[in-house]
């Protein structure tokens, strides 16, 4: 039997690991879905101070993970409608890209899955699961089993996205709340 070269094997491995990647929304599409009434979006990078990172960790019960966060402010004319924070978390093996829409008071407005790369656990894309986050803030019911239901077969995706949303809600509470 003929052996496959290491180059072919690595190419096959790469292809199989990303074969399940599906992009559902671009960042621009997510902006329109989360803030349909907005007529302007302003992207920026939020730089957390060391003090803010400690506050986020205390509030979320999770490491702040990064100093820099991708934030998009949504406006209707001159009025601030809220923010969108973009993030990636590991599902089981691959990254899940998502966007969290936040009200000016730092409560969650909406969660959208942008790209899902895992072979299992896609159920987190379901609107009913994502609706559980609406209206919640960093200190209120943003944990699997405590306000957010788990989905059998998608446990890691549920847990990691929920932790990510809780972290983002804490960041909003510390650094974005008006």
- 102 contacts 168 by C-beta, under 8 angstroms: yes
Residue range 121-162, pLDDT digits in tens = 889 999 999 999 999 999 778 999 899 999 998 999 999 999
- Give me the pLDDT at residue 148, please: 94
**β 143-144/147-148 pair status:** parallel
Q: Which residue has the tokens 């039997």?
A: 1
**Residue range 101-117: mean pLDDT, rounded:** 96
Q: Which residue has the tokens 């446990």?
A: 155
Tell me how far apart the alpha carbons of residues 49 and 165 are, in angstroms, rounded to a whole number: 20
- Give me the pLDDT at residue 161, please: 96
CA–chain centroid gap for 124, Å, is 11
- Give me the pLDDT at residue 122, please: 84
- Give me the pLDDT at residue 141, please: 85
Residue range 38-74, pLDDT digits in tens = 999 999 999 999 999 999 999 999 999 999 999 999 9
**Close Cβ partners of 163 (under 8 Å, ≥ 6 residues apart):** 60, 62, 89
**Residue range 1-13: mean pLDDT, rounded:** 48
- Give me the pLDDT at residue 7, please: 47
């Amino acid at each position: 039997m003929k052996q496959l070269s290491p180059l072919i094997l690595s190419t096959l491995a790469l292809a199989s690991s990303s074969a399940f990647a599906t992009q559902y929304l671009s960042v621009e599409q997510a902006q329109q879905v989360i803030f349909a009434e907005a007529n302007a979006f302003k992207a920026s990078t939020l730089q957390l101070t060391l003090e803010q990172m400690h506050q986020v960790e205390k509030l979320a019960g999770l490491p702040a993970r990064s100093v820099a966060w991708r934030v998009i402010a949504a406006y209707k004319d001159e009025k601030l409608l809220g923010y969108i924070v973009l993030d990636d978390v590991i599902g089981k093996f691959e990254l899940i890209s998502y966007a969290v829409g936040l009200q000016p008071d730092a409560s969650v407005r909406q969660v959208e899955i942008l790209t899902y790369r895992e072979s299992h656990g896609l159920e987190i894309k379901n609107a009913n699961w994502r609706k559980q986050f609406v209206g919640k803030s960093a200190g209120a019911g943003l944990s699997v089993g405590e306000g957010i239901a788990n989905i059998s077969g998608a446990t890691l995706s549920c847990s990691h996205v929920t932790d990510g949303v809780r972290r983002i809600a804490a960041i909003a509470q510390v650094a974005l709340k008006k």
